Amino acid sequence: MKENNLTLGEFIIENQKEFQYSSGELSRIFNSIKLAAKVVSYKVNKAGLVDIIGGVGEKNVQGEDQQKLDVYANEVFIQTLINREIVCGIASEENDEYITVQGSDEGNNNKYVLLMDPLDGSSNIDVNASVGTIFSVYRRISEVGTPVTLEDFLQPGTAQVAAGYVLYGTSTVLVYTTGHGVNGFTLNPAIGTFYLSHPKMKIPVDGTIYSVNEGNYVHFPRGIKDYIKYCQTEEEDRPYTSRYIGSLAPDIHRNIIKGGVYLYPTSTKSPKGKLRLLYECNPMAFIVEQAGGKASDGFSRIMEIVPTELHERCPFFCGSSNMVDKVEDFMLAAKLSKY
């Protein structure tokens, strides 16, 4: 994309009117996110030169091995948000429980909660592959001035007021939506400023890329096995190209730009799915839908799922609308064949 002289800060101010509850909070939240993203980006680019790669020897709440950069990114984003007293609560994939941000006054007069996966795909750091941060913003439903509650976080994706991801790759790119389209900004590391580089992002309605960990093929449900075979069949525009990085933000980013579908189904190893509804699926679904795509659990819209727990998992299919439709066709056919 051709570089635009418009900075992220300028863009947010110019489009502040599109934010439903505009009173300056959106700008302050994104200022915190971009600051934390620049700090994490700097550390990612120094991986191998400083002691930031590898595991810490502990597991997170998901039972997954924590990487040093997981812990670092989580602390950076949490402290940046707390120090600026912008949100009333934070939920992170790396933390057991949500964090109540008390604020300098009694209670908390801030109106928003933020949920995040601070560093998705962190095991890729050791091999110099792309990783990302994913975040989602909701308007609290509890009374302003009181401590945040669990219900403030357990909202369906349709209630999101903003969502985005930061991609740490050959360049650092921040992509976000507030429900009025999707725009991407690339960091100029020389001056520490994000510039509009991907305006009005749109995902093609069709594509030729499918992204899935085919090493788990034997564990997948019948509908997904059939769809993968369909992708590999030589006919007209097929076989499709298989592209899978193993980090959600870069995989989705590529498919938004080029057209494709991302698949993370249930399996015999993960019968409820592996991706987290609140930290990964909902924000990515919001972004992809705003870019003209579709996100599904295989049968229904991801963003209409009402969560019941903070670390809920679900199957996830996301990308070009025609391709997701085809996945749903195969899933339904497999389901009906059982009866």
Residue 227 among known ligand-binding residues? no
Residue 98 among known ligand-binding residues? no
Residue 251 among known ligand-binding residues? no
Cβ pair 72, 57 in contact under 8 A: no
3-state per-residue secondary structure call for the chain: CCCCCCEHHHHHHHCHHHCCCCCCHHHHHHHHHHHHHHHHHHHHHCECCECCCCEEEEECCCCCEEEHHHHHHHHHHHHHHHHHCCCCEEEECCCCCCEECCCCCCCCCCCEEEEEEEEECHHHHHHCCCEEEEEEEEECCCCCCCCCCHHHCCCCHHHEEEEEEEEECCCEEEEEECCCCEEEEEEECCCCEEEEEECCCCCCCCCCEEECCHHHHHHCCHHHHHHHHHHHCCECCECCEECCCCCHHHHHHHHHHHCCEEEECCCCCCCCCCCEHHHHHHHHHHHHHHCCCEEECCCCEHHHCCCCCCCCECCEEEECHHHHHHHHHHHHHHHHCCC
Residue 121 among known ligand-binding residues? yes
The whole-angstrom separation of Cα 164 and Cα 179 is 11
Residue 263 among known ligand-binding residues? yes
Residue 244 among known ligand-binding residues? yes
Residue 143 among known ligand-binding residues? no
Residue 122 among known ligand-binding residues? yes
Residue 213 among known ligand-binding residues? yes
Residue 117 among known ligand-binding residues? yes
Residue 96 among known ligand-binding residues? no
Residue 234 among known ligand-binding residues? no
Residue 262 among known ligand-binding residues? yes
Cβ pair 61, 311 in contact under 8 A: yes
Locate 23 and state its tokens. Answer: 């009173």
Residue 106 among known ligand-binding residues? no
User: Which residue ranges make up the annotated binding site?
Assistant: 93, 117, 119-123, 213, 244, 262-264, 274, 280
User: Which residue ranges make up the annotated binding site for substrate?
Assistant: 120-123, 213, 244, 262-264, 274
User: Which residue ranges make up the annotated binding site for Mg(2+)?
Assistant: 93, 117, 119-120, 280
